[in-house]
């Protein structure tokens, strides 16, 4: 369906600005809390909040797939003005649903070819081939989409969005059915790399905050139909109560600068320390600042700088806080410069080392424990 109302034609070029602008957007879900949002033309933003809060509804409204009133504009193009909306296919966006919504009766290759054919910014054949390989889709290309597993269908759907390479890319829990280790270790690093090469405005919706903290530094929040943000990740951590001690273990987000990458080993600098990561999926250039995750269960503490060891990483830290956990463990809040992270050790280790808040120690972790690179 194409909208060519005279009134709408006048509105099409009326919004100024570089990015996405949402003003007073109302659906049947949020009649009391009209949505306002301003995002730059490029950047990756997380999107989370309690289930049923309205995240999918907002994404559908942005895509013109849900009845709404108000104003939506991207760049100087109006997508929605009052009750009139530009047809979805005329908005420079892509939306991936939770259930992947691939085109039925077609193969995986057909679905991808279609996205490529209608892309406003088509990818090179080399890049498409490399992405297909990285997403583990090569053996599935000839398969009808009806025969794909949930996780396979989701990987194809994300790939289809990358092939279409729209200016605004909306993802709605796109990898929830894919095995988490593959997501953190392989797919998210490749996605980060993709958007570094092909900048776009990306909204990544997920209930997995680790996905969000690997991809973004700011996050939108939707709760009971009320939209807030973009918020800093620390605020979202608080709202999700992620520092709750009930969590078995937790991942902390750290940032470091790339020194070099060779033969699968990535060398980073964090403060005065040099860190090493192996099993690296992404491609990085020297000088680039990148985020990675460190699991609280993967870190050990030493009183003195250890000698030569097979554990490659040794980071000087300040012990900020010791929090008792259940099961004979304690959680240590550590700081490397301004960056805080958590380490879980046994209560026995804490007593033997006589750890004290405010003192300085050395955190040790293996090159394989830096996740998301």
Ligand X SMILES: Nc1ncnc2c1ncn2[C@@H]1O[C@H](COP(=O)(O)OP(=O)(O)OP(=O)(O)O)[C@@H](O)[C@H]1O
Residues found near ligand X in the complex (CB under 6 A): 28-29, 51-57, 222
Q: How far is the CB of 95 from ligand X (least distance, A)?
A: 12
Q: How far is the CB of 136 from ligand X (least distance, A)?
A: 25
Q: How far is the CB of 51 from ligand X (least distance, A)?
A: 3
CB nearer ligand X, residue 51 or residue 241:
51
CB nearer ligand X, residue 28 or residue 31:
28
CB nearer ligand X, residue 108 or residue 170:
170
CB nearer ligand X, residue 230 or residue 282:
230
Positive or negative, the CA dihedral 204, 210, 216, 217 is: positive
CB nearer ligand X, residue 49 or residue 73:
49
Q: How far is the CB of 103 from ligand X (least distance, A)?
A: 22
CB nearer ligand X, residue 29 or residue 277:
29
CB nearer ligand X, residue 57 or residue 296:
57
Q: Return the HEC string of the chain.
A: CCCCCHHHHHHCCCCCCCCEEEEEEECCCCCCCCEEEEECCCEEEEEECCCCCCHHHHHHHHCCCCCCEEEEEECCEEEEEECEECCHHHCCEEEECCCCCCCCCCEHHHHHHHHHHCCCCCCCHHHHHHHHHHCCCHHHCCCEHHHCCHHHHHHHHHHHHHHHCCCEEEEECCCCCCCHHHHHHHHHHHHHHHHHHCCCEEEEECCCHHHHHHHCCEEEEEECCEEEEEEEHHHHHHHCCCCCCCCCCCEEEEEEEEEEEECCEEEEEECCEEEEECCCCCCCCCCCEEEEEEEHHHCEEECCCCCCCCCCEEEEEEEEEEEECCCCEEEEEEEECCEEEEEEEEHHHHHHHCCCCCCEEEEEECHHHEECC
Q: How far is the CB of 211 from ligand X (least distance, A)?
A: 14
Q: How far is the CB of 215 from ligand X (least distance, A)?
A: 17
């Amino acid at each position: 369906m194409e909208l060519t109302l005279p009134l709408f034609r006048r509105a099409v070029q009326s919004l100024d600005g570089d990015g996405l602008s949402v003003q007073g957007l109302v659906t049947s879900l949020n009649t009391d809390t009209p949505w306002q949002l301003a995002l730059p033309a490029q950047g990756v933003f997380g999107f989370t909040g309690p289930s049923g809060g309205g995240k999918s509804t907002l994404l559908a409204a942005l895509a013109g797939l849900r009845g709404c009133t108000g104003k939506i504009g991207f760049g100087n193009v109006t997508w929605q003005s009052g009750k009139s909306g530009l047809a979805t296919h005329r908005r420079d966006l892509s939306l991936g649903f939770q259930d992947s919504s691939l085109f039925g009766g077609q193969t995986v290759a057909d679905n991808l070819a279609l996205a490529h054919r209608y892309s406003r910014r088509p990818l090179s054949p080399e890049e498409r081939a490399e992405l297909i390989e990285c997403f583990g889709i090569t053996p599935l290309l000839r398969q009808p989409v009806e025969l794909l597993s949930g996780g396979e269908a989701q990987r194809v759907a994300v790939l289809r969005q990358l092939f279409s390479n729209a200016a605004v890319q909306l993802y709605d829990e796109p990898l929830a059915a894919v095995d988490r280790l593959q997501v953190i270790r392989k797919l998210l690093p490749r996605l980060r790399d993709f958007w570094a090469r092909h900048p776009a405005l990306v909204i990544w919706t997920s209930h997995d905050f680790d996905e969000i903290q690997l991809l973004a530094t700011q996050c939108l929040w939707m709760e009971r139909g009320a939209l807030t943000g973009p918020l800093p990740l620390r605020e979202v951590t608080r709202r999700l109560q992620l520092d709750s001690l009930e969590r078995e273990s937790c991942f902390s987000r750290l940032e470091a600068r790339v020194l070099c990458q060779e033969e699968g080993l990535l060398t980073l600098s964090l403060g005065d320390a040099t860190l090493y990561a192996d099993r690296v999926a992404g491609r990085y250039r020297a000088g680039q600042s990148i985020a990675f995750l460190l699991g609280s269960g993967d870190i050990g503490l030493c009183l003195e700088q250890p000698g030569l060891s097979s554990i490659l990483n040794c980071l000087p830290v300040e012990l900020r806080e010791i929090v008792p956990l259940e099961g004979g463990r304690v959680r240590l809040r550590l700081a490397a410069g301004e960056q805080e992270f958590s380490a879980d050790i046994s209560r026995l280790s804490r007593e033997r080392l006589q750890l004290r808040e405010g003192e300085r120690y050395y955190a040790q972790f293996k090159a394989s424990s830096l996740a998301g690179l």
